[in-house]
Structure 1
Amino acid sequence: MDKDTLVLPLQNGVLASDELKAFVPAENVLSGLCRIISYIEAPGVISHVAVEPTIVFGLPDNSQRERLLPLQELFTSSNIKSKLADDIESELWKKYISICVSALLAVTRATYGEVRECEETRSMMHRLFDEVADVGRALGVNIEADFVTKTMGFIDTFPYDSTSSLTRDIWEGKPSELEYQNGTVVRLAEKAGVDVPVNRFIYHSLLLMEKRARK
């Protein structure tokens, strides 16, 4: 690595860049995400079921945009849709808000369609999103006032029988991203002084299954 090396994490959640900086010089680390809904259909076969695949990236402090233009050009020349974000932390949290519903699907053993059409679970989903947005705002992240409403509308476009990778991993007794999703919400909420009862209930309900999967 040298001063021009760029390290771009695309993992779910909002902690990947900070964790990388424990091992990689901070000036080399970007923040990023991938918008895609897909699953492994068979060995070597990935099925893409919703959302136009897009990589969104930037430096954590949104500086030195010109330094990232060669990376954007590389994506373009490779026919990979990408976006150099004006506010990458905001983009990370907006995706983070939407994916945290995966654990609600796991708890209810339901698909996106089933959760959104049932009044009680739809209400839980809305409150879950509100809690994550409140934590982000308390930590200084720019999240628009109507973003949760837009997220609910976005979830309504998902195929009725679709689920998420975290949901399927938990159902199948595999290690999942639970700690990086709802577990992180709970821990950051404590730091920010925000109450997150829905996320805390869902996280605690799945915690023993997650621990068993990791033995």
Structure 2
Amino acid sequence: MERIAIFGAGALGLWFGFKLHDRYDVVCVSKKRFVDAIKDKGLTLLLNKKTKTKNINITDQVKAISACKTIILASKSFDSKENLTTIKNINPQADIITIQNGIYTEEVAKELFNKSQLFPASVMIGSRFINDSTIEEFLNEGMVLGSLNSSNKTQDIAHMFESVGIKVRISDNIERDKWKKFMFYCSSATLNSLTATLSLYEKDERWIVKNSLDEIEQVGKHLDLSFDIERLKEEVFEYAMNFRPKQWNASVGEDLKKGKKTEIDYLNGYVVKLADRFNIDVPINETLYRLTRILQRTRRLKEK
């Protein structure tokens, strides 16, 4: 049985490790404090007020990825370049599944690896830490998987996830699906992170979501994209208006509550960066970006 690595495993990476553990030879590479806690107590998954614990294979040694044919890169976007470089140095032939928010990680990966090795995924699954050995699944709308060169391996990777009960769809345009999540997160998840709102269809929330998406559309029109971004904008807006989670803890908000560095530079901050390149004003996205940076610095939302 081939070994699968989950590299940079935080709450979402450990969720994948928990799911894949029973059927596959999986090793999670994570931070030492999580490794120590999980080796001592096992990894517990909380779902619908019920818990289940598994003794997964976990380490803080990056050399563990050397013998793995497939690597799920599960770290935050701001660590993507460093971690992809590490993979390149240790296991340059591995197939890499990227599950990060945003569109930055794939841009870095294409500079380091052959496109045939890269399998981007748009994941709408929410997992957060309750403590160092316990994670909670609070959202599960499955994932969309694709490849950068129509690889036949995509079906095998999809089967791997399906075989452990993970809902997965194979994309016919993964760039479009990654942008769909990127646009949703910039317009809606950042808003949830700052306000805890779930009601994106209310007047105030709707105004922010719509105008944020309009700005991203204008930026996207200056890029060489493989899809119609105006049509995608309408699709994302409709999705946001119909998004009705009972619980939603967007990752930027979770990081703010923990006083941790967020991925905002690779979400709304990335929109601002692209807009600057084309001399476009994006006031809604820039405001969301700068507000998040202020709260990250002041730790005003940090739970006590």
Settle same-fold status: TM greater than 0.5.
yes
Deviations 1:57-95 (A, max 9, x none): 211xxx243243332333333333323321111110001
Query: Where does residue 40 of structure 1 map in the other structure?
Result: 129
After TM superposition, list the pairs within 5 Å mapping 1:47-196 onto structure 2: 47-59=136-148, 63-100=149-186, 101-107=188-194, 109-113=195-199, 116-117=201-202, 119-141=203-225, 142-143=227-228, 145-155=230-240, 156-159=242-245, 162-196=248-282
**2-structure distance, mates of 1:91, 1:203:** 22
Say which structure, 1 or 2, has more relative contact order (CA 8 Å, 6+ apart). 1
Deviations 1:165-194 (A, max 9, x none): 212322443211111111111101222443
| Deviates most, 19-28 or 47-56 | 19-28
Identity of aligned residues (%): 23
Equivalent residue of 2:126, what SS? strand
Q: Aligned pair 1:199/2:199, yes or no?
A: no
Equivalent residue of 2:161, what SS? helix
RMSD: 2.7
2:135 alignment partner AA: I
**2-structure distance, mates of 1:51, 1:135:** 30
**1-structure distance, mates of 2:260, 2:109:** 24
Query: Where does residue 83 of structure 2 map in the other structure?
Result: none
Aligned length: 206
TM-score (norm 2): 0.58
| Deviates most, 203-212 or 183-192 | 203-212
1:80 alignment partner AA: I
Structure 1, unmatched stretches of 5+, are none
Q: Aligned pair 1:17/2:116, yes or no?
A: no
Q: 1:99 to 1:21 in 2, by over 3 A?
A: same
TM-score (norm 1): 0.79
2:139 alignment partner AA: A
Q: 1:193 to 1:160 in 2, by over 3 A?
A: farther
The higher radius of gyration belongs to: 2
**1-structure distance, mates of 2:177, 2:137:** 22
2:239 alignment partner AA: F
| Deviates most, 79-88 or 174-183 | 79-88
Aligned-residue offset at 1:104 = 2.5
**1-structure distance, mates of 2:228, 2:179:** 8
Contact 1:111 1:160 in 2 (8 A): no
Aligned-residue offset at 1:120 = 2.7
Q: 1:76 to 1:106 in 2, by over 3 A?
A: closer
| Deviates most, 90-99 or 202-211 | 202-211
2:295 alignment partner AA: M
